[in-house]
Amino acid sequence: MGEESSELQCRECVDLLADYVDGTLPRAQAELLDWHLDGCAPCVAFVNTYKGTVDAARRLRETKIPPELHRKLVTFLQRSAHTESRP
Ligand SMILES: [Zn+2]
Tens digit of each residue's pLDDT (9 = 90 or more) over 29-86: 999 999 999 999 988 998 888 888 888 888 877 777 778 877 887 887 788 766 655 5
Residues 6 or more apart whose CB falls under 8 angstroms from that of 67 comprise none
**Domain range holding 44?**
4-85
Give the confidence band of 22 by pLDDT, cuts at 50, 70, 90: confident
Structural domains in the chain (count): 1
- Read off the pTM: 0.55
Residues 6 or more apart whose CB falls under 8 angstroms from that of 72 comprise none
Task: Classify burial at 46, counting beta carbons within 10 Å of its beta carbon; exposed 0-12, middle 13-18, buried 19 or more.
Answer: middle
C-alpha angle with apex 49: 80 to 43, nearest 5 degrees? Answer: 145
Cα 55 to ligand 1 centroid, rounded to whole Å? 22
Q: Which amino acid is at 23?
A: G
Instruction: Count other Cβ atoms within 10 Å, centred on residue 25.
Output: 17
Cα 38 to ligand 1 centroid, rounded to whole Å? 9
